[in-house]
């Protein structure tokens, strides 16, 4: 469903500047791939807060509320401890902060694997509490039945194959996938299975490039790469990685800014001015009435 917004920002900095736009729909995202090709690649970044969504929204087709928030926001060692409560809270914030992008919310580990029925209950809660356009879940052939179950009940699903972070304990780490023929064949089979099951798109993460290219050429749905290939139908990155907020980032990340340095420098200048008693200055004070 397309939605337009007109919000009053006179009383709160939390609301976006009023600029009603037609939000992209899931069918519109799917239709960007025609005849097996995508003329204009899809742009996707993660977002976890309303303000972050405001800044990224004009430049993106999709905003992903990723379970990577466990590491980026909460300092957790992996995505495994992330809860449904966390995803719903941050998903709602991102929807409130955006007008244009389709917002996709990750289903956290343990919220969908047990059965299609469990997945439906979790996905329905996410859609109701956040207002997002779709959910994302990890897994290929093993999740095909669940994807079909959700899709047939009106819940759009983005799948995720290749390196699947929620399975880090089973995979033994975050290394690139598909270096063996067995892995190559499995990832291709996973992609075909989830497309046949009704997923509207798929993220392929951390794979050797020929697999990403093969998936993009083989699947009728948009293939979004992260550590995959520029020949995918679109790209996604964790925004904080792309903005240079962390010292260590995966090999596949390109830093487009060094926000960590800017923030540190600003905090240092603030600290000096506070200690020197020059902040607040006259411009920041309220003078008495004359």
Nearest one of 152, 159, 157 to 135, comparing CA atoms: 157
CA distances from 178 to 67, 196, 205 (A): 23, 21, 11
Do the strands 201-205 and 157-162 form a parallel or antiparallel pair, or are they unpaired? parallel
* CB distance 136 to 159 below 8 Å: yes
276 is in an annotated binding site: no
Note the helical H segments in the chain: 26-30, 50-56, 69-72, 84-96, 116-130, 144-151, 168-171, 181-197, 209-218, 239-242, 259-275
Rounded to 10 degrees, the C-alpha dihedral 209/212/215/217 comes to -70
* CB distance 117 to 146 below 8 Å: no
83 is in an annotated binding site: no
136 is in an annotated binding site: yes
Q: Cβ contacts of residue 283 below 8 Å, gap of 6+?
A: none
138 is in an annotated binding site: yes
Distance CA 236, CA 42 (A): 9
Residue 44 — φ and ψ, nearest 5°? -140, 135
Q: Tell me the β-bridge partners of 204.
A: 161, 225
Nearest one of 229, 232, 231 to 202, comparing CA atoms: 232
CA distances from 135 to 68, 91, 111, 112, 142 (A): 14, 10, 12, 11, 17
Q: Tell me the β-bridge partners of 65.
A: 105
User: Which positions are annotated as active-site residues?
Assistant: 205
Nearest one of 92, 116, 118 to 103, comparing CA atoms: 92
Q: Which residues are annotated as a binding site for Mg(2+)?
A: 67, 106, 138
Q: Which residues are annotated as a binding site for 3-methyl-2-oxobutanoate?
A: 67-68, 106, 136
Q: Which residues are annotated as a binding site?
A: 67-68, 106, 136, 138
């Amino acid at each position: 469903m397309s939605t337009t917004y007109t919000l009053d920002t006179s009383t709160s900095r939390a609301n976006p500047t009023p600029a009603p736009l037609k939000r992209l729909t899931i069918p519109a995202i799917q239709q960007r791939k025609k005849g097996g090709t995508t003329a204009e690649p899809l742009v996707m970044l993660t977002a976890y807060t309303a303000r972050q969504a405001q800044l990224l929204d004009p430049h993106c087709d999709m905003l992903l509320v990723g379970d990577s928030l466990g590491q980026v926001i909460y300092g957790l060692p992996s995505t495994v401890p992330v809860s449904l409560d966390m995803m719903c809270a941050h998903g709602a914030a991102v929807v409130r902060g955006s007008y244009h992008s389709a917002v996709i919310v990750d289903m956290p580990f343990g919220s969908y694997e047990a059965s299609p029925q469990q997945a439906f209950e979790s996905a329905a809660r996410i859609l109701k509490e956040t207002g997002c356009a779709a959910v994302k879940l990890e897994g290929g052939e093993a999740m095909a039945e669940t994807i079909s179950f959700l899709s047939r009940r009106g819940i759009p699903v983005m799948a995720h194959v290749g390196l699947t972070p929620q399975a880090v304990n089973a995979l033994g780490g975050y290394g690139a996938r598909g270096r063996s023929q067995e892995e190559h064949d499995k990832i291709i089979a996973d992609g075909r299975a989830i497309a046949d099951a009704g997923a509207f798109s798929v993220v392929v993460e951390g794979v050797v490039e020929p697999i990403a290219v093969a998936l993009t050429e083989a699947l009728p749905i948009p293939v979004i790469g992260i550590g995959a290939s520029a020949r995918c139908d679109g790209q996604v990155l964790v925004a904080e990685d792309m903005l240079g907020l962390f010292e260590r980032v995966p090999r596949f990340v390109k830093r487009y800014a060094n926000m960590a340095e800017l923030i540190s420098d600003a905090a240092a200048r603030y600290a000096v001015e506070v200690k020197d008693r020059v902040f607040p200055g006259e411009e920041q004070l309220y003078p008495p009435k004359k």
